[in-house]
Amino acid sequence: MSEYLKTAKPASERAEDDQKVRETVETILKDIEARGDEAVHELAAKFDNYSKPSFRLSQSEIEALMQKVSAREMEDIKFAQTQVRRFAQAQRDSMTDVEVETLPGVILGHKNIPVQSVGCYVPGGKFPMVASAHMSVLTASVAGVPRIAAATPPFKGEPNPAVITAMHLAGAHEIYVMGGIQAIGALALGTQSIDPVDMLVGPGNAFVAEAKRQLFGRVGIDLLAGPTETMVIADETVDGELCATDLLGQAEHGYNSPAILITNSRKLAQDTMEQIERILKILPTADTAGKSWQDYGEVILCESYDEMLKVANDLASEHVQVMTDRDDWFLEHMTSYGALFLGPRTNVANGDKVIGTNHTLPTKKAGRYTGGLWVGKFLKTHSYQRVVTDEAAAMIGEYCSRLCMLEGFVGHAEQANIRVRRYGGRNVEYGTAVQPQKVE
């Protein structure tokens, strides 16, 4: 049986926090829906200390901001986007339209059609999340979305040049400087100056994730992504310093970012906790990372690899770093997670920033039923059918008629019956099931 050497704050306290977030978000979304731009401007001034006549950047404003990005930064952004584009394009190429003749004269197919307008949220109030532009805007662009509206909060009161550059290079058609609930609400509900989108994507804090949850149905969403979660599955093939570094590297995202170690080594567990305390004394973001570790950090000691696997699948963490003597075994048997990072040579930051896989991933156990953001999220698979011969129309119609009457749907049955009459030349009594023809 697993043993918790360190536990997070009780679930009841987390539930109280979640309830407060839900109530705040609900109130703000209602205000945005009722007052539109006026409400958004008030919220931007209150939460972002940002007030401009228009939240949308002009082309000249975008170009001026891009001039502030150094040559080295520009090259790094382009390198990262190349990696993301290559993987997204490979994913897109794996999705093909289908058309097949399932019976003589019966043609069935499906088409993959891009969502027509998408709002991409790029966090940036606390840290300018340049990489989130690659993950959402660029991936939507590869999918062929014809209208991509991107929004990001101001950083220290102004648009962040690197984030705006990444959005523009990734293919955003509209760029808005606004953050938090007001950005999500404006994009989903629309205002006097912003047309609503069909779908919202991108990570964010608890308020952004809750806003997406409440708006789901009015618009599509990619998934509930936020706050960040990380899990390290490790044995004695690695040391505590490596595990501690990987846990704190994600804990610095926010004050409520779960960081969990699962191990079968008490020695490694103790070493990791000691290393965390040491690193927090020198980590510049220790105020944030330390609070996350204090309230949301956990260390779970298991008796076997099988138990480690079970605990990991039950928790379904967003990021799962695996550093064991059997990494491929975990790859084969893990079923619930956001993304896997296999072996000590890679890490979650690679996935966050540069390697090419998407960093917008399911949190709060959503990995049980969905994967992360990818090019397929921006595509809708729509089916179609075609019957091209009279014989096929009559034959399918006979079966359809009887199956409709089996369920009591007379109107449905008549859709089939009229075609049996016209294309099959049979005299079918109105409102009755077509009977099989007798073979002479």
Each residue of 173-185: pLDDT tens digit? 999 999 999 999 9
126 and 59 within one domain: yes
286 and 251 within one domain: yes
How many residues would you count in the chain?
440
Q: Of 194, 222, 250, at which residue does a domain stop? A: 222
- Whether the CB-CB separation of 417 and 397 falls below 8 Å is answered with yes
**Do the domain assignments include residue 206?**
yes
Mean pLDDT over residues 384-398, rounded?
98
Q: Of 222, 244, 260, at which residue does a domain stop? A: 222
Half-sphere exposure of 309 (CA within 13 A, CB side): 14
**Do the domain assignments include residue 4?**
no
Mean pLDDT over residues 273-295, rounded?
97
Q: What percent of the chain has pLDDT over 90?
A: 91
339 and 266 within one domain: yes
**Do the domain assignments include residue 416?**
yes
Give the tens place of pLDDT for each residue, 190-234: 999 999 999 999 998 889 999 999 999 999 999 987 689 999 999
249 and 205 within one domain: no
155 and 133 within one domain: yes
Q: Which of 50-54, 329-333, 409-413 has the lowest mean pLDDT?
A: 50-54
Residue 373, token pair as written in the block: 């953001």
**Do the domain assignments include residue 190?**
yes
245 and 207 within one domain: no
Q: Of 174, 204, 222, at which residue does a domain stop? A: 222
Mean pLDDT over residues 336-357, rounded?
97
How would you list the strands of the sheet with 98-103, edge to edge?
98-103, 106-114, 379-387
Give the tens place of pLDDT for each residue, 420-436: 999 999 999 999 999 99
d(CA 293, CA 363): 17
Predicted confidence at residue 440, as pLDDT, reads 62
Mean pLDDT over residues 239-265, rounded?
96
Residue 240, token pair as written in the block: 């505590």
Predicted confidence at residue 10, as pLDDT, reads 86
Predicted confidence at residue 16, as pLDDT, reads 78
Task: Work out the mean pLDDT of the chain and round it to a whole number.
Answer: 96
72 and 43 within one domain: yes
What is the span of the domain harbouring residue 406? Answer: 390-439
Amino acid identity, position 280:
L
**Do the domain assignments include residue 101?**
no
State the catalytic residue, choosing from 252, 318, 359, 398: 318
Residue 370, token pair as written in the block: 């969905």
- Whether the CB-CB separation of 400 and 420 falls below 8 Å is answered with no
Name the pLDDT band for 126 (thresholds 50, 70, 90). confident
Q: What is the DSSP string of 136-201?
A: IIIHHHHHT-SEEEEEE--BTTB--HHHHHHHHHHT-SEEEE--HHHHHHHHHH--SSSPPPSEEE
Query: For residue 324, what are the contacts with CB-CB under 8 A and spacing of at least 6?
Result: 233, 234, 235, 237, 305, 330
Name the pLDDT band for 57 (thresholds 50, 70, 90). very high
240 and 141 within one domain: no
Specify the number of domains making up the chain. 3
215 and 238 within one domain: no
**Do the domain assignments include residue 380?**
no
153 and 56 within one domain: yes
Residue with tokens 């510049």: 284
Residue 77, token pair as written in the block: 């952004």
pTM: 0.91
d(CA 262, CA 269): 8
The CATH code of the domain that includes 291 is 3.40.50.1980
Name the pLDDT band for 91 (thresholds 50, 70, 90). very high
232 and 192 within one domain: no
282 and 146 within one domain: no
**Do the domain assignments include residue 353?**
yes
Higher-confidence residue: 224 or 98?
A: 98
Residue 361, token pair as written in the block: 């991933």
**Do the domain assignments include residue 300?**
yes
Mean pLDDT over residues 312-320, rounded?
97
- Catalytic residue check, 318: yes
Q: Which of 47-56, 71-80, 113-122 has the lowest mean pLDDT?
A: 47-56
State the catalytic residue, choosing from 319, 332, 333, 398: 319
Q: Looking at the predicted structure, is the pLDDT value of residue 439 above 70?
A: no
